[in-house]
Chain A
Amino acid sequence: MNQGSLYPALHRLEHRGWIKADWGISELGRRARFYTITASGRKQLEIEAESWSKLSEAIARVLRMA
């Protein structure tokens, strides 16, 4: 995967309201875009993390049974 694919994904997250982007000054003193997670983003992350762990648990269980 190219690094370039990161940006559409970031923009998508921003549109969902899960992260927000601000222009700030980087450590090198240049204008840069900073992304921070929002409250609803954090909630969504929990939901997604939960469903991911459920899924991986289920897969693990299946693998154990095999």
Chain B
Amino acid sequence: MKWKDFGLRLRALLFRRRMDEELQEELQFHIEMQARKNQRNGPDTAEAKRQARLQFGSVVRAAEECREVRGISSIEILAKDLHFALRMLRKSPGFTAVALLTMALGIGANTAIFSIVNGILLLPLPYANPSRLVATTSDYPKGAFVVMRDGSQSMDFAANTDSTELNLTGLNSPERLIGSAVSANWFSVLGVHPKVGRTFHPGEDQPGKDGVVILSYSLWQRRFGSDPNIVGRTIELEGQSREIVGAMPPNFTYPSPKIELWIPLHLDPSKPGDYWGASYMSVLARLRPRVSLERARAEFAALRPKVVAAFAWRMPDDSFKNSTVMPLQNLLVFDVKPKLIILLVAVGLLLLIACANVANLLLARATTRQREIAVRTALGAARGRIIRQLVTESVLLAVLGGGLGLLVAYYGLSVLKTTLPADTQRLVTVAVDARVLTFTAVLALLTGLAFGAMPATGSSRVDLVDAFKTAGAKGQSEKSHRLSRGLIIGEVAVAAVLVIGAGLLIKSLWSLANSNQGYRPEGIFTASISPNDSFCESIGRCQAFYNDLLARVRALPGVTDAAASDGLPLSGIWQTIPSDIDGYTIKPGAHVPMLMERVVSPEYLHLMSIPLFQGRAFTAADSAPNAERVVLISKTTAERFWPGKNPIGQHIKPRWLNNWWTVIGVVGDVKEDTMTTNHPDWIDGEMYTPYGPHAIAGRGPEAPPAAMTLLARASGDVSQIGAELRGLVAGINPEVPVSQMQTLPGWISQAVAGPRSTASLFSIFAGLAVLLGAVGIYGVISYFVAQRTREIGIRLALGARGKEVLFMIVGQSARLALLGVGIGLAGALLLTRLMGSLLYGVAPSDPLIYTVVGALLLMVALAASYVPARRAMRVDPVVALRHE
């Protein structure tokens, strides 16, 4: 029975015209037969036909009822409504343009941000069975990783360094490459396969077997022309020959987009310094089949004491106490997640404003269409039918807006991708996919219903008598007046929240950029100079190289001073030295003092304007081969280890060496780790050692580091120095790459790329919110004015002055804006607390920002209502009164 019904309906839908004709034929046939029957009883043909029609009743109604039975009416109605809606939109291009643009902005911004959220937070990682991948929340040294790998029954552990820099030499020009050192099983644990060749074999992370390398797709393309026979070729990396065993596909750049090659970890327990301390690595693991995350966590916790006990030196008992394993994906997006959520909230609020705006436009239009609706009601249209048609119109508007929004999103996304920091995990693969399209479609339909439903239900309730009596006059009901006022207040409130959010982010960005970093970066040019490690094995060769280079750089025109350091602040590159401190007793259970070491040429502190508080600075003599071992410490380090005592003349040494270093001076603190912290909290202090034979690089004997960063203070154009520098270095040693040439302020601004992108995106959304809010206020006030033309005319005729009318209108808008701003400020007090983690140097309730934003929005509201108010002032009473 149901099938029969369905078949009939389908037929009715597909062969609508034929069915209609058949129906007409059937009904006509009936009437004719009836007429024939009537004729037999006497009356002439015409009378018989008339009688037949009378007996039959309304043919149209019968046909209509039959059509309703066929059940296709809803689709027909939709088609008709759509047709009508399109015609209405075409007829009022101004309204259509503003509404579509508003929707396109609202939906477009949401789609763009959602694509980012989708690509970074929602899509599973592009590795085999990604939900089984976990990672440790702390980093570990090589030795600790081996203990985990060998001791776990529930997980297969793998490890990688976040970045390992290597010189590629032997080809036409030397180059510094960023790679990652990984355990031999790393690729198979991730479950990724090479484009050509193979990944590492088990055991290739053992010393003597590790002469292999895997290229990233970009390096393979860039330096080797995508040579398909690349496998088996040997290249020189950091002075060591390595055989290329494979190249990865283009989308694989784990652990970060800048990685260009992978080498095996060098797991050598006979070098405890390197094995237990040199570099801490990210450790990840794949859960074995049927192992739950809880079980893996329990096992990991049980492994912790074994890991701590295995260290080559005593670790505090509570080391890694809070470390656990969590899903890899969660860990990867840990930093970016709160930002994305805040941005998603921001665009969500923007969409609310857009909806309110369009709802207001529709409300205003519904009033002007009151007569049309009244006519249709009088002709017998049911209320549901009218609501349906009005909702169809607004959904159509939203769908068209959504389509335009997709365009906005498409372009917005490319802007977003360049605005967000380049090292954002997974940003490269973000794209508009099926899920994003579904999101947009659902969003468009929901918004259409949201902004369409209210005005539709309101305006469909027409009092026929009233509507006709006022002869088309604009009698907007008090109820819809209240509604549009409420919408305006809401819009202003939401805009206020967004602008305050943007204000807070901008202020914290400003505070961050202007915070005291402990040095003066202005006018400093920097470049990374990186001879191979082996170049520095014979003591003195490296030192001679740098002395030579620094002298030549100082001789460059415009350069006033030059120095070298083993790493820039914020670079994450420094030496961490587990130290003995003379006279300092380690508390039971506490760990060995860890000191951050900066190896610098004597001029460094002066060049960076780092202040000297006590004692003396380095001199050239401190770098000499036979010099005494001296060290400078930072102020907080002095206060921590020698509180209330004179640190000058005290002694420090690395745990694994026997010679003591003497403290000769105390210098200012530098924000080395981040723009807000001197060093990570597992490090206890900072010291400087002079670049020379006694400097410590790594965990071996005393030796200066090979790779250094050159810093030159120059007046005028620093961009020239780059070209000159390459020439200078090549002149001394053509095998030494020069990379990362930039100014120090430029480098610092990269470090705030994250906060800056959040602040600028938020500002864009806030700006749009204000713009939409202004458009909304303008629209509504214009509309109020148009409605009150007659009233204003009477007022003016009775002697009101233009200015009074102006004040009346502007005052009305000011009241709405004040209320909106008030609610907005209160809402911001609540909502901006969520932003706490993104703020620096500014309280979420910063009074200055709240005051300025409040005043700003009031001004915008007044400005937006000024134009319509002027119009009201100029109403000609005669015209206004004759108007109706």
Q: How far is the CA of A52 from the CA of B432 in the complex (A)?
A: 63
Interface residues of A in 1-46 (CB under 8 A from B): 2-8, 11-12, 14-17, 23, 30-33, 40
A3 touches B26 (CB 8 A): no
Q: How far is the CA of A32 from the CA of B273 in the complex (A)?
A: 102
Q: How far is the CA of A7 from the CA of B55 in the complex (A)?
A: 13
Interface residues of B in 744-784 (CB under 8 A from A): none
B56, CB-defined interface residue at 8 Å: yes
B59 touches A40 (CB 8 A): no
B26 touches A16 (CB 8 A): no
A31 touches B56 (CB 8 A): no
B66 touches A3 (CB 8 A): no
Q: How far is the CA of A47 from the CA of B70 in the complex (A)?
A: 25
A4: which of B8, B29, B57, B70 is its contact (CB, 8 Å)? Answer: B57
B5 touches A2 (CB 8 A): no
B4, CB-defined interface residue at 8 Å: yes
List B contacts of A40 (CB < 8 A). Answer: 1
CB distance from B822 to the nearest CB of A (A): 60
- If over half of A's interface residues share one DSSP class (helix, strand or loop), that class is named, otherwise mixed; here it is helix
List B contacts of A15 (CB < 8 A). Answer: 4-5, 8, 69-71
List A contacts of B59 (CB < 8 A). Answer: 4
A2 touches B26 (CB 8 A): no
A33 touches B29 (CB 8 A): yes
Interface residues of B in 784-838 (CB under 8 A from A): none
CB distance from B56 to the nearest CB of A (A): 5
A16 touches B56 (CB 8 A): no
Interface residue tally for chain B (C-beta within 8 Å): 25
A30 touches B69 (CB 8 A): no
Q: How far is the CA of A11 from the CA of B23 in the complex (A)?
A: 10
B34, CB-defined interface residue at 8 Å: yes
Known A11-B69, A12-B69, A33-B29: A4·B5 in contact at CB below 8 Å: no
List B contacts of A8 (CB < 8 A). Answer: 62, 65-66, 68-69
Interface residues of B in 519-574 (CB under 8 A from A): none
B61, CB-defined interface residue at 8 Å: yes
B483, CB-defined interface residue at 8 Å: no
Q: How far is the CA of A56 from the CA of B288 in the complex (A)?
A: 76
List A contacts of B22 (CB < 8 A). Answer: 23, 33
List B contacts of A3 (CB < 8 A). Answer: 30, 34, 55-57
Interface residues of B in 15-36 (CB under 8 A from A): 22-23, 25-27, 29-30, 34
Contact with A along B199-220 (1 / 0, CB 8 A): 0000000000000000000000
Q: How far is the CA of A20 from the CA of B65 in the complex (A)?
A: 19
- If over half of B's interface residues share one DSSP class (helix, strand or loop), that class is named, otherwise mixed; here it is helix
List B contacts of A11 (CB < 8 A). Answer: 66, 69-70
B585, CB-defined interface residue at 8 Å: no
A32 touches B62 (CB 8 A): no
B27: which of A4, A30, A31 is its contact (CB, 8 Å)? Answer: A4
A2 touches B56 (CB 8 A): yes
B58, CB-defined interface residue at 8 Å: yes
Q: How far is the CA of A57 from the CA of B124 in the complex (A)?
A: 71
Find the B residue at minimum CB distance from A13: B69
Find the A residue at minimum CB distance from B69: A11
Known A8-B69, A11-B69, A16-B5: A30·B29 in contact at CB below 8 Å: yes
List A contacts of B70 (CB < 8 A). Answer: 11, 15
List B contacts of A5 (CB < 8 A). Answer: 57, 62, 65
B25 touches A7 (CB 8 A): no
Q: How far is the CA of A2 from the CA of B61 in the complex (A)?
A: 11
B55 touches A2 (CB 8 A): yes
A4 touches B56 (CB 8 A): yes
Q: How far is the CA of A30 from the CA of B30 in the complex (A)?
A: 12
A7: which of B1, B27, B34 is its contact (CB, 8 Å)? Answer: B27
Find the A residue at minimum CB distance from B65: A8
Find the A residue at minimum CB distance from B29: A32
B62 touches A7 (CB 8 A): yes
Q: How far is the CA of A4 from the CA of B30 in the complex (A)?
A: 9
Find the B residue at minimum CB distance from A20: B4
A4 touches B61 (CB 8 A): yes
Q: How far is the CA of A62 from the CA of B205 in the complex (A)?
A: 100
CB distance from A36 to the nearest CB of B (A): 14
List A contacts of B68 (CB < 8 A). Answer: 8
CB distance from A10 to the nearest CB of B (A): 8
Q: How far is the CA of A34 from the CA of B739 in the complex (A)?
A: 92
Q: How far is the CA of A12 from the CA of B62 in the complex (A)?
A: 12
B5 touches A17 (CB 8 A): yes
CB distance from B59 to the nearest CB of A (A): 7
List A contacts of B69 (CB < 8 A). Answer: 8, 11-12, 15
Known A11-B70, A30-B29, A31-B25: A4·B1 in contact at CB below 8 Å: no
Q: Which of A8, A23, A32 has the largest number of chain B CB atoms within 10 A?
A: A8
A7 touches B57 (CB 8 A): no
Interface residues of B in 32-74 (CB under 8 A from A): 34, 55-59, 61-62, 65-66, 68-71
Find the B residue at minimum CB distance from A2: B57
Contact with A along B233-263 (1 / 0, CB 8 A): 0000000000000000000000000000000
List B contacts of A32 (CB < 8 A). Answer: 26, 29
Q: How far is the CA of A11 from the CA of B71 in the complex (A)?
A: 11
List A contacts of B62 (CB < 8 A). Answer: 2, 4-5, 7-8
Find the B residue at minimum CB distance from A23: B22
List B contacts of A2 (CB < 8 A). Answer: 55-58, 62
Q: How far is the CA of A12 from the CA of B22 in the complex (A)?
A: 16
Q: How far is the CA of A7 from the CA of B60 in the complex (A)?
A: 12
Contact with A along B1-18 (1 / 0, CB 8 A): 100110010000000000
Q: How far is the CA of A3 from the CA of B59 in the complex (A)?
A: 10
List A contacts of B71 (CB < 8 A). Answer: 15
Known A2-B57, A16-B1, A17-B1: A7·B26 in contact at CB below 8 Å: yes
A17 touches B4 (CB 8 A): yes
List B contacts of A17 (CB < 8 A). Answer: 1, 4-5
List B contacts of A23 (CB < 8 A). Answer: 22
Find the B residue at minimum CB distance from A30: B29
Q: How far is the CA of A31 from the CA of B4 in the complex (A)?
A: 24
Q: Which of A4, A6, A8 has the largest number of chain B CB atoms within 10 A?
A: A4
CB distance from A33 to the nearest CB of B (A): 5
Q: How far is the CA of A32 from the CA of B22 in the complex (A)?
A: 10
Q: How far is the CA of A6 from the CA of B62 in the complex (A)?
A: 8
List A contacts of B4 (CB < 8 A). Answer: 15, 17
Contact with A along B295-326 (1 / 0, CB 8 A): 00000000000000000000000000000000
Q: How far is the CA of A51 from the CA of B56 in the complex (A)?
A: 31
Q: How far is the CA of A33 from the CA of B30 in the complex (A)?
A: 10
Q: How far is the CA of A7 from the CA of B64 in the complex (A)?
A: 11
Q: How far is the CA of A59 from the CA of B5 in the complex (A)?
A: 35
List A contacts of B29 (CB < 8 A). Answer: 30-33
CB distance from B61 to the nearest CB of A (A): 7
Find the A residue at minimum CB distance from B59: A4
CB distance from A18 to the nearest CB of B (A): 8
List A contacts of B61 (CB < 8 A). Answer: 4
Q: How far is the CA of A5 from the CA of B27 in the complex (A)?
A: 11
Q: Which of A23, A33, A40 has the largest number of chain B CB atoms within 10 A?
A: A33
CB distance from A3 to the nearest CB of B (A): 5
CB distance from B7 to the nearest CB of A (A): 10
| Top-10 shortest CB links A-B | A2-B57, A4-B62, A8-B65, A4-B57, A17-B4, A11-B69, A17-B1, A4-B56, A3-B56, A11-B66
24 chain-A/chain-B pairs, Cβ below 8 angstroms: A2-B55, A2-B56, A2-B57, A3-B30, A4-B58, A4-B61, A5-B62, A5-B65, A6-B30, A7-B23, A8-B66, A8-B68, A8-B69, A14-B8, A15-B8, A15-B71, A16-B1, A17-B4, A17-B5, A23-B22, A30-B29, A32-B29, A33-B22, A33-B29
Given contacts A4-B61, A7-B26, A15-B70, 16 further A-B contacts (CB under 8 A): A3-B30, A4-B27, A4-B59, A5-B65, A7-B30, A7-B62, A8-B66, A8-B69, A11-B69, A15-B8, A15-B69, A16-B5, A17-B1, A17-B4, A33-B22, A40-B1
Residues of B that sit less than 8 Å from A by CB: 1, 4-5, 8, 22-23, 25-27, 29-30, 34, 55-59, 61-62, 65-66, 68-71
